[in-house]
Amino acid sequence: MQNEEQIFLEKIDQEIKIEPRDWMPDAYRKTLIRQMSQHAHSEIVGMLPEGAWITRAPTLKRKAILIAKVQDEAGHGLYLYAGTETLNIGREEMIDQLLTGKAKYSSIFNYPTLTWADIGAIGWLVDGAAIMNQVPLCRCSFGPYSRAMIRICKEESFHQRQGFDILLTLSRGSNAQREMAQDAINRWWWPSVMMFGPNDDNSPHSAQSMAWKIKRFSNDELRQKFIDMCADQAKVLELTLPDKKLQWNEKRKHYDFGEINWHEFWNVVNGHGPCNKERMAARISAHENGAWVREAADAHAKKRRAREQQVA
């Protein structure tokens, strides 16, 4: 036992990936199952706020782009579920954990998409924050997670760009369109900043995840990078971020920013966001109403197998 743990730690130390059938500590496995399955759930639930605008996209081009983006998110969910299954947890068990509320998904998806500009803000800010989180995960010590993240990151950059493109178009449009874009940014900014999770001194599992090289940067480091990136990009959009304390700090070479409302963060995490109930209801109904499709496919496969056997 001692020996296996040592081999594991040496691999981590030498940046050798851990693969599913390698020995790993139980806690490492559990941490990954929790993190990867919650990541998968987030991709799947994340389709809902944007999916709501597919039928209302302003042009055929925007509609086609949005469909492609939402379909990518479904793919991301599948890569991650498949990766998590290599840790010996069944797909059904994971889905069950989501639908019974045992597993969480990213709180950002518990906010509503009120206007078309929200689709722009989600692409720019929410996918932007996701990319910031996901790029270092490409180097995660667990092979299947790392490979899934590499695939995902390749696809994500178009998500952020199409969002920025929507906002840029609105910002350069009529006054009403500009206001719509600004309003969307005002509502999505702080929830996006919160996507990086609690401050480092309030993030109990972080140190272990960093030691295991699941995580490479702390929550606050990634949050700062994200804020620096957006503060500059907002200037190109000629729109503002809703933070009066946002200011370049020459000494730190970073933007200073205002106080995060952690009360709101924990409130949404604990199920009291504007759309928590709606999102769960939508997932449960999709799962229940899709049951007959799964059964029919199964029956069809059985029938075909029987027919093939008859011929043989």
Partner 1 sequence: MDNEWPLWEVFIRSKQGLDHKHAGSLHAADAQMAIENARDVYTRRMEGVSIWVVESKNIHASNPDEAASFYEPANDKPYRHPTFYDLPDEVRHM
* Binds 83: which of partner 1, Fe ion, none (CB < 5-8 Å by kind): partner 1
Q: Is 255 helix (H, G, I), strand (E, B) or coil?
A: strand
Tell me how far, at minimum, the Cβ of 168 lies from partner 1, in Å.
Answer: 24
Complex with Fe ion: residue 127 or 243, whichever CB lies closer:
127
Could you identify the residue written with the tokens 């000629």? 238
* Under 8 Å between Cβ of 23 and 87: no
The closest alpha carbon to 163, from 120, 195, 125, belongs to: 120
Q: Give residues in contact with partner 1 (CB under 8 A).
A: 19, 21-23, 68, 71-72, 75, 78-79, 82-83, 85, 90-92, 95-96, 147-148, 151, 155, 294, 297-298, 300-301, 304-305
Q: Does 39 bind Fe ion (CB under 5 A)?
A: no
- How far apart CA 240 and CA 203 sit, in angstroms, is 30
Q: Letter for the amino acid at 107?
A: S
Q: Which of 50, 85, 118, 127 binds Fe ion (CB under 5 A)?
A: 127
The count of C-alpha atoms lying within 13 angstroms of the C-alpha of 69, restricted to the half-sphere facing its C-beta, is 30
Residue 147 forms beta bridges with which residues? none
Query: Which run of H or of E encompasses 256?
Result: strand 254-256
Q: With CA atoms as reference, report the closest residue to 126 among 163, 167, 181.
A: 163
What is the smallest separation between the CB atom of 25 and partner 1, expressed in angstroms? Answer: 16
Closest distance of CB 97 from partner 1, Å: 12
Contact partner at residue 127 from partner 1, Fe ion, none, CB < 5 to 8 Å by partner kind = Fe ion
Neighbour-count burial of 160, counting CB atoms closer than 10 A to its CB (0-12 exposed, 13-18 middle, 19+ buried): buried
Determine if 283 is a binding residue for Fe ion (CB under 5 A): no
- The distance of closest approach from Cβ of residue 82 to partner 1 in the complex, given in angstroms and rounded to an integer, is 5
CB of 310 to partner 1, least distance (A): 16
Give least dist CB 93 to partner 1, A.
9
Using the minimum distance from each CB to partner 1, give the nearer residue, 236 or 301: 301
223 near Fe ion, judged by CB under 5 A: no
Alpha carbon distance 247, 89 (integer Å): 46
Q: Which pair of structure tokens corresponds to residue 256? A: 């200073």
Residue whose CB is less far from partner 1, 102 or 300:
300
User: Is residue 40 a contact partner of residue 84, using CB atoms and an 8 Å limit?
Assistant: yes
Residue 205 binds which of Fe ion, partner 1, none (CB < 5-8 A, kind-dependent):
none
Q: Which of 39, 41, 62, 159 binds Fe ion (CB under 5 A)?
A: 159
Contact positions vs Fe ion (CB under 5 A) = 43, 73, 76, 127, 156, 159
